Amino acid sequence: MSGKKNTAAMILAAGQGTRMKSALPKVLHRVAGRPMLWYAAISARKMATQTVAIVVGHGSGQVQTYLEQEKANFEPFEVVIQEKQLGTGHAVQQAYPVCTRPTAGPVDQFLILNGDTPLLTQETLTALVDCHESEKASLTLLTTVIPEPRGYGRVVRGPSGEVCRVVEDRDASAEERNISEINVGTYVVDATFLGKALSQLRPQNTQGEYYITDIIEMAVHQGLKVVAWVTNDALETTGINTREHLAIAEKEMRRRICRRLMLSGVTMLDPDRVLVDDGVEVGRDTSLYPGVMLEGHTVIGDNCIIHSNSRLNNTLVGNNVLIQDSCVLLEATIKEGAVIGPFAHLRPGSLIQRKAKIGNFVEL
């Protein structure tokens, strides 16, 4: 956590995600092997010194089951159920009492995140909080500029460049729709101001919803300081609303993972054609050929070679292992110096001892 203030966090994860056209709650769709909610929850936990409240709604049972499974990674956190999805402002209204009850400890400010922006980086969130604290603002919002802002809330500024309000796309005038600076939906808000503002929220829009963005105009009218932190990386602000957005996030997240591995000493002949999940570890001087897929919590040792079109899922691989082309290894353990394949299939529980050789078309 970059600042010294007591910071609680809220994650808004109650949306149905109708454009995903899926029975699965939107925030449980996977990006680089993890539900997208993972990334928001981990970021919130790193940034917050106090309670993290995760607001769930659509498919709340499935989301709560997932949160329970990952409890050790996300604790401490509280689940808040938004029975009726009446907008982002309503979601924050449900979470605020949980974060401010006496047992939760003192709160100076809130970090508000969406559960469907998995590409948002820790560096950007830290910069946002630093900006809020250095500017002594009552509210700081994260914004970016994109060439095609349709569907996003526009940031309306005054003649001196000051933030005046955010208008949602469906409520915007023709002139406001020409604005290219958009609201990302991530905020740092002074706790005292937020509590008062939430009590004044009204559904004054065409959707009959409570917009959290309305508190921006409230702050301005009260003469409080509102600032925007503008990120130049519009891609990291991508909210996942469709399968196309999901594919964009997937590609970018995997690019980041491959870059991180290459910087740590892993060789990739064609990183665009190597798929590595977020939970995978790969040792230095290991070479990954095109078409390799490393899934789940796979761990690869040092100085290994994994040839094209091999898939490893939750598999442990020791040092100096050679895996030939087109092998499938599922929850297997491969010890140092072993040679596998080509075209080998190792089923869950398979144990390949040191310097053993598993030949062509072998299935264990």
CA distance 253 to 256: 5
- Tell me if the pTM is above 0.75: yes
Residue 267 above 60 pLDDT?
A: yes
Locate tokens 């604290």: which residue? 133
Nearest to 359 by CA among 335, 348, 343, 337: 343
pLDDT in tens, 291-336: 999 999 999 999 999 999 999 999 999 999 999 999 999 999 999 9
Q: How far is residue 357 from each of residues 95, 177, 292, 326, measured CA to CA in Å?
A: 56, 64, 20, 16
Angle between helix axes 191-200 and 88-100 (nearest 10 degrees) is 130
Q: How far is residue 181 from each of residues 159, 214, 218, measured CA to CA in Å?
A: 15, 17, 20
**Strand 139-145 versus strand 163-167 pairing type:** unpaired
Q: Output the DSSP codes for 108-119.
A: SEEEEEETT-TT
Residue 110 above 90 pLDDT?
A: yes
Active site residue 19: yes
Angle made by CA atoms 69, 73, 78, in degrees to the nearest 5? 75
From the list 19, 101, 255, 284, the catalytic residue is 19
Peptide bond into 76 cis (omega under 30): yes
pLDDT in tens, 46-97: 999 999 999 999 999 999 999 999 999 999 999 999 999 899 999 999 999 9
pLDDT in tens, 165-207: 999 898 899 999 999 999 999 999 999 999 999 999 998 777 7
pLDDT score of 1: 46
Residue 3 above 90 pLDDT?
A: no
pLDDT in tens, 127-154: 999 999 999 999 999 999 999 998 899 9
The upper half-sphere exposure of residue 49, i.e. CA atoms within 13 Å in the direction of its Cβ, equals 13
What's the CATH fold of domain 264-358? UDP N-Acetylglucosamine Acyltransferase; domain 1 (2.160.10)
Residue 2 above 70 pLDDT?
A: no
Burial of 148 per CB tally in 10 Å (0-12, 13-18, 19+) = exposed
Peptide bond into 149 cis (omega under 30): no
pLDDT in tens, 198-222: 999 998 777 788 999 999 999 999 9
170 near 260, Cβ under 8 Å?
A: no
Segments making up each domain of the chain, as ranges: 7-237, 264-358
Q: What is the pLDDT confidence band of residue 105, given thresholds at 50, 70 and 90? A: confident
DSSP secondary structure letter of residue 231: P
pLDDT score of 279: 94
Q: How far is residue 138 from each of residues 131, 188, 213, 215, 229, measured CA to CA in Å?
A: 11, 8, 14, 11, 13
For 357-362, what is the mean pLDDT?
96
Please state which CATH class domain 7-237 belongs to: alpha beta
